């Protein structure tokens, strides 16, 4: 069987795609990169906003036409699969396999079945399952928990992914070990709310560390770099900031979604913290991690958001001085409390506010990135940039970075780079040698240069 998985949405979905792809390979499937070559197409879906849902609907429509012309098995997994909205789509577009986020390990049973297979249970076996390490990659995701116990009024995730279940620390450390053996240098710990790790449905689990303790344990494993996402301010503790500060492997990139700077909106979102409390966490982070690079998520145009509320978000942005932000227009999702109880704002109001927020974000990113010019950053270089004379990667602060290929830096890895130029979205620099001077650039456009570049092109 030739199979392909098309992934929408967050890093959690990327992790699940890797897990399911590994299962498919162990079942004897060949993974192919395009839908045209495949006889099994599996869509790993996202239901957090309306746009990714519409993308899935459109691809399912195309696949139904293909199915009319040749044998093709179509599957749907991820958040949308768990919802009535997704199941209606699955019926309409003749989806053969439907796997909710808790039933991914049913993929084998689904493919063996001669009938339509729908798996929508949340199964415990998933939490102990350890997918094989990705081969040849320097970066990997590592899920430490699934589901979410919060009930933010705009969010569909607690419905699609169920209540929070923390993975046992032994399973996490075993998976980490296999990633390190496979050569992974940077690991991103994943969960909807990593700060609540070890406390499921309000109860602390015996034998589980806190998230701060888990950071310290992971830091002792020998991994070079660790990041995490997502960190909910409600469960953030100063000990998490302290653990980041004292653990050399922890990246200085810290993503702490605020969603809004207005206490009135935060209350309507049921975020369970105030602007003042959030700023206390920022102060703790800055104290324990002096070079912290701060990122956030912001939703603009939440129902009932006034111009004054939006001004509070803009002023909070200035007060924190974020390095970057993921900015979203509020998207009403059927099944969420805000969809049921609140009136959506006009589209023009939401888009106009987003434009103003983007201007603010660009100003701050430009200012923050410009301050890095002249500094030396440790950059994880993954492989060729768009222009193959250059390599791309990212700093420990998660800044996308591009450097010219250099002699003596032949393998993907973490290199010191002096930043020479920065835009709001990109940094440019040169790889430094052991003497602190830039390594000579590789000659371009010659057969020798092409030959020399091959190891990194493989990355």
Tokens in use for 459?
């990355």
Size of the site for ligand SF4 (CB under 6 A): 10
Residue 176 interacts with which of ligand SF4, ligand SAM, none, CB < 5 to 8 Å by class: none
Report the site for ligand SF4 in 169-198 (rule: CB under 6 A): 192-193
Pairing of strands 413-422, 427-431: antiparallel
Out of 23, 284, 331, 365, which residue is the one contacting ligand SAM (CB under 6 A)? 331
193 contacts ligand SAM (rule: CB under 6 A):
yes
Rounded to 5 degrees, φ, ψ at 378 are -85, 115
Q: 255 vs 405, which CB is nearer to ligand SAM?
A: 255
For the chain, helix, strand, coil in percent to 5 are 40, 25, 35
At its nearest, how many Å lie between ligand SF4 and the CB of residue 288?
Answer: 23
228 vs 217: CA distance, rounded Å? 14
Cβ atoms within 10 Å of 423's Cβ, excluding its own: 13
Residue 330 interacts with which of ligand SF4, ligand SAM, none, CB < 5 to 8 Å by class: ligand SAM
Which has the closest alpha carbon to 213: 232, 188, 225, 195? 195
405 vs 7: CA distance, rounded Å? 31
210 contacts ligand SF4 (rule: CB under 6 A):
no
273 contacts ligand SAM (rule: CB under 6 A):
no
Cβ atoms of 75 and 94 within 8 Å: the answer is: no
Q: 75 vs 162, which CB is nearer to ligand SF4?
A: 162
234 vs 228: CA distance, rounded Å? 16
365 vs 399: CA distance, rounded Å? 10
Beta strands in 100-192, from DSSP E residues, in sequence order: 117-119, 139-143, 145-146, 165-166, 186-190
Out of 17, 230, 324, 398, which residue is the one contacting ligand SAM (CB under 6 A)? 230
At its nearest, how many Å lie between ligand SF4 and the CB of residue 299?
Answer: 9
Cβ atoms of 121 and 365 within 8 Å: the answer is: no
Report the site for ligand SAM in 121-160 (rule: CB under 6 A): 154-155, 157
Cβ atoms within 10 Å of 396's Cβ, excluding its own: 21
At its nearest, how many Å lie between ligand SAM and the CB of residue 292?
Answer: 17
Out of 150, 264, 267, 444, which residue is the one contacting ligand SF4 (CB under 6 A)? 150
431 contacts ligand SF4 (rule: CB under 6 A):
no
265 contacts ligand SAM (rule: CB under 6 A):
no
Q: 18 vs 333, which CB is nearer to ligand SAM?
A: 333
166 vs 283: CA distance, rounded Å? 28
At its nearest, how many Å lie between ligand SF4 and the CB of residue 155?
Answer: 3
Look up residue 303 and give its DSSP letter.
T
360 contacts ligand SF4 (rule: CB under 6 A):
no
Chain residues in the site for ligand SAM (CB under 6 A): 10, 48-49, 154-155, 157, 192-193, 230, 232, 257, 259, 297, 299, 328, 330-331, 333
- List residues binding ligand SF4 (CB under 6 A): 148, 150-152, 155, 157-158, 192-193, 232
């Amino acid at each position: 069987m030739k199979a392909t998985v098309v992934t929408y949405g967050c890093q959690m979905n990327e992790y699940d795609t890797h897990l399911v792809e590994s299962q498919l390979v162990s079942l004897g499937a060949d993974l192919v990169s395009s839908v045209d070559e495949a006889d099994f197409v599996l869509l790993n879906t996202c239901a957090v906003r309306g746009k990714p849902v519409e993308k899935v609907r459109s691809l399912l429509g195309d696949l139904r036409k293909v199915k009319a012309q040749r044998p093709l098995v179509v599957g749907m997994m991820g958040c949308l699969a768990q919802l009535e909205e997704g199941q209606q789509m699955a019926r309409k577009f003749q989806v053969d396999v439907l796997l909710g986020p808790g039933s991914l390990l049913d993929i084998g049973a689904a493919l063996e079945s001669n009938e339509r297979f729908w798996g929508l249970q949340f199964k415990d076996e998933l939490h102990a399952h350890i997918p094989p390490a990705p081969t040849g990659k320097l970066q990997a995701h590592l899920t430490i928990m699934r589901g979410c116990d919060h009930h933010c009024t705009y969010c569909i995730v607690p419905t699609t992914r169920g209540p929070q279940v923390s993975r046992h620390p032994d399973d996490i450390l075993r998976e980490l070990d296999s990633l390190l053996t496979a050569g992974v240098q940077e690991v991103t710990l994943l969960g909807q709310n990593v700060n609540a790790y070890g406390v499921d449905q309000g109860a602390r689990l015996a034998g589980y560390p806190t998230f701060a303790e888990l950071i310290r344990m992971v830091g002792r494993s020998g991994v070079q770099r660790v990041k995490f996402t997502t960190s909910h301010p409600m469960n953030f503790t100063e000990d998490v900031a302290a653990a980041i500060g004292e653990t050399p492997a922890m990246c200085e990139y810290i993503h702490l979604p605020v969603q809004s700077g207005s206490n009135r909106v935060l209350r309507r979102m049921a975020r369970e913290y105030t602007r003042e409390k959030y700023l206390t966490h920022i102060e703790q982070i800055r104290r324990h991690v002096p070079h912290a690079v701060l990122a956030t998520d912001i939703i603009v145009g939440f129902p009932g958001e006034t111009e004054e509320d939006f001004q509070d978000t803009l002023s909070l942005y200035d007060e924190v001085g974020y390095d970057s932000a993921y900015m979203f227009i509020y998207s009403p999702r059927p099944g969420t409390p805000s969809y049921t109880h609140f009136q959506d704002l006009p589209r023009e109001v939401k888009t106009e506010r987003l434009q103003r927020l983007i201007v603010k974000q660009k100003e701050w990113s430009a200012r923050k990135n410009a301050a890095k010019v002249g500094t030396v950053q440790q950059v994880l270089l993954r492989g060729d940039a768009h222009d193959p004379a250059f390599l791309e990667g990212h700093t420990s602060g998660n800044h996308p970075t591009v450097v010219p290929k250099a002699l003596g830096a032949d393998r993907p890895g973490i290199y010191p780079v002096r930043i020479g130029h920065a835009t709001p979205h990109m940094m440019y620099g040169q790889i430094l040698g052991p003497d602190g001077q830039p390594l000579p650039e590789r000659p371009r456009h010659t057969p020798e240069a092409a030959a020399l570049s091959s190891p990194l092109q493989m990355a």
